[in-house]
């Protein structure tokens, strides 16, 4: 289980997270939606301490930390519980596709090169990139890079995978291939927290949807509850705005 | 024309015999200064207490005063204050002086190149559980070095030429030998032109090696 209690984070005078509490069960897929600047990404980055929150408690599986007395050792333990998929892929640019996956396994998890290689080959086959294993990230499309990013995360065999807007930087025609990989992961019972702007994806894949705005969790529930019967005004406004924008886009296309 | 072309040609192999001193001093100083500069740049990135202002002072001093003055202070000045330093040979003084001086420049080159590595690369390293040191070694440094190589090559060429200053300490590198040839024969132009040609040749070779290295490091980005 992942449990977050009363997480606060400020940048100077700007309070980005104003007391976030959230529970995620093992195997659950949680989608976090909300307007930009609502703190979604910051929240995700606080979970693996890429950003250090100011206070609160984070428990992931058997690692419980109180941010107030976070040590380097605890940070390391917490980070080992999760893997992350980034908006801009963030593959290691000086490593080949295969090395992107094997290097963490060898340096962090102390696996043998041979074992790491076979894990990487296996996962690359699963995401359909076996023929690219000796390519460098720079020569891949965004969608391919993101699939490598996902394979790198899965290879670590983490307790949970954190997705930070995994399709936001992609050309529209490449979004599908990445969502497909994430969906198949969801089916394999991987615990996932996905910050996303893809509402239809959140609706289809998530077990639980969290709506964040202005540093708070405004509302959470099943996709059904959030998308069809939102209770809070803020949620309704956000969803309305999205559907208006969608119509505008459609109109533009028609014209 | 008062130019003894034969003497010029004959002095080339004479001087080349001592090129190993110039090259040796330069290469060893480059290696030592590279190690020092890595320490300096790590201090800079971590803003380590106490050490950080000291490292800035170090860089400021060694970039802000002439190498020749630094060599004099090191070789002639310090033994006056600390008599036990009088045992220092001119070779040791040359190596220490060039290394300390060059480290200040190198650390600024490395600092700039490291700043050029996208911050998401460190995020990615940490997210897979690597320590900061592992991240530096496996991902950040290799990417920074690629950006740094043209400046590093430039720096090394500069170092080879600056090593000529160490003749004032009595180190018998090629400029010192050129001076001796000139003094013996009174053929100044021939002797000094010969030494100039040798320096030039060295730097051309280094420039060529540098471009090959650049090309190799560029492979992941083609």
Tell me: the pLDDT tens digits for A79-124?
Answer: 999 999 999 999 999 999 999 999 999 999 999 999 999 999 999 9
What pLDDT, on the 0 to 100 scale, is given for residue A250? 66
Q: Could you report the per-residue pLDDT of B57-107, keeping only the tens digit for each?
A: 999 999 999 999 999 999 999 999 999 988 999 999 999 999 999 999 999
Collapsing DSSP to helix, strand or coil, A2 comes out as strand
Q: Could you report the per-residue pLDDT of A25-55, keeping only the tens digit for each?
A: 999 999 999 998 899 999 999 999 999 999 9
pLDDT at A134 over 80: yes
List of chain B residues with pLDDT < 50: none
Q: Report ipTM for this prediction.
A: 0.91
- Beta-strand pair A160-164/A63-66: unpaired
d(CA B9, CA B149): 34
- Pull the structure tokens for residue A135: 């390519």
B22, B174 Cβ separation under 8 angstroms: yes
Contact B221 A93 (CB under 8 A): yes
**Integer-rounded Cα radius of gyration of chain A:** 19
Q: Which residue, among A107, A111, A149, would best test binding to B if mutated, counting the most B CBs under 10 Å from its CB?
A: A107
The structure tokens 């917490």 sit at A78
Burial (CB count <10 Å: 0-12, 13-18, 19+), residue A112: exposed
Query: Which positions 63-102 of A are in contact with B (Cβ < 8 Å)?
Result: 76, 79-80, 82-84, 86, 88, 90-96
> Among residues B113, B147, B124, B91, which one has the least CA distance to residue B44?
B113
A191: left (phi over 0), alpha (psi -120 to 50) or beta: beta
Contacts with B221 from chain A: Cβ below 8 Å: 93, 136, 138
What pLDDT, on the 0 to 100 scale, is given for residue B212? 94
Of the CA atoms within 13 Å of residue A162, those in its CB half-sphere come to: 25
d(CA B183, CA B13): 18
Q: Does B111 touch chain A (CB under 8 A)?
A: no
pLDDT at A72 over 70: yes
Distances in Å between the Cα of B102 and the Cα atoms of B21, B97, B204 are 18, 8, 21
Q: Could you report the per-residue pLDDT of B45-66, keeping only the tens digit for each?
A: 888 899 999 999 999 999 999 9
């Amino acid at each position: 289980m992942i449990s977050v209690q009363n997480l606060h984070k400020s940048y100077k005078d700007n309070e980005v997270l104003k007391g976030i509490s959230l529970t995620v069960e093992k195997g659950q897929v949680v989608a976090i939606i909300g307007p930009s600047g609502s703190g979604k990404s910051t929240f995700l980055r606080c979970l693996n301490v890429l950003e250090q929150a100011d206070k609160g408690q984070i428990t992931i599986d058997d690692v419980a930390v109180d941010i107030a007395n976070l040590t380097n050792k605890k940070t390391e333990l917490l980070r080992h519980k999760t893997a992350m998929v980034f908006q801009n892929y963030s593959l290691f640019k000086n490593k080949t596709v295969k090395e992107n996956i094997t290097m963490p396994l060898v340096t962090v998890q102390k696996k043998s090169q041979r074992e790491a290689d076979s894990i990487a080959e296996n996962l690359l086959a699963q995401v359909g990139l076996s023929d690219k294993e000796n390519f460098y990230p720079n020569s891949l499309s965004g969608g391919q890079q993101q699939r490598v990013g996902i394979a790198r995360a899965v290879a670590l065999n983490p307790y949970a995978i954190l997705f930070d807007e995994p399709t936001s930087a992609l050309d529209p025609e490449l979004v599908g291939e990445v969502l497909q990989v994430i969906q198949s992961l969801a089916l394999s019972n991987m615990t996932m927290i996905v910050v996303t702007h893809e509402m239809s994806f959140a609706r289809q894949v998530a077990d639980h949807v969290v709506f964040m705005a202005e540093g708070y969790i405004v509302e959470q529930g099943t996709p059904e509850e959030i998308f069809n019967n939102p209770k809070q005004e803020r949620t309704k406004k956000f969803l309305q705005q999205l559907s208006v924008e969608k119509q505008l886009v459609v109109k533009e296309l028609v014209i | 024309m008062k130019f003894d072309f034969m003497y010029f040609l004959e002095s080339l192999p004479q001087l080349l015999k001592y090129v190993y001193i110039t090259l040796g001093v330069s290469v060893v100083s480059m290696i030592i200064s590279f190690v020092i500069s890595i320490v300096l740049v790590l201090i800079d990135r971590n803003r380590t207490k106490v050490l950080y202002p000291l490292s800035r002072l170090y860089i400021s001093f060694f970039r802000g005063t002439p190498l020749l003055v630094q060599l004099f202070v090191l070789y002639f000045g310090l033994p006056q204050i600390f008599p036990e330093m009088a045992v220092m040979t001119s070779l040791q003084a040359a190596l220490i002086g060039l290394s300390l001086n060059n480290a200040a420049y190198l650390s600024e080159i490395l600092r700039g190149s490291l700043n050029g590595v996208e911050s998401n690369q460190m995020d990615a390293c940490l997210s897979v559980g690597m320590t900061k040191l592992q991240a530096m070694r496996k991902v950040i440094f290799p990417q920074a070095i690629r950006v740094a190589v043209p400046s590093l090559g430039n720096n090394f060429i500069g170092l080879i030429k600056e090593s000529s200053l160490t003749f004032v300490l009595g180190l018998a590198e090629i400029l010192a030998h050129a001076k001796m040839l000139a003094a013996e024969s009174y053929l100044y132009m021939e002797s000094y032109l010969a030494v100039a040609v040798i320096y030039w040749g060295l730097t051309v070779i280094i420039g060529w090696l540098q471009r090959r290295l650049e090309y190799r490091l560029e492979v992941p980005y083609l």
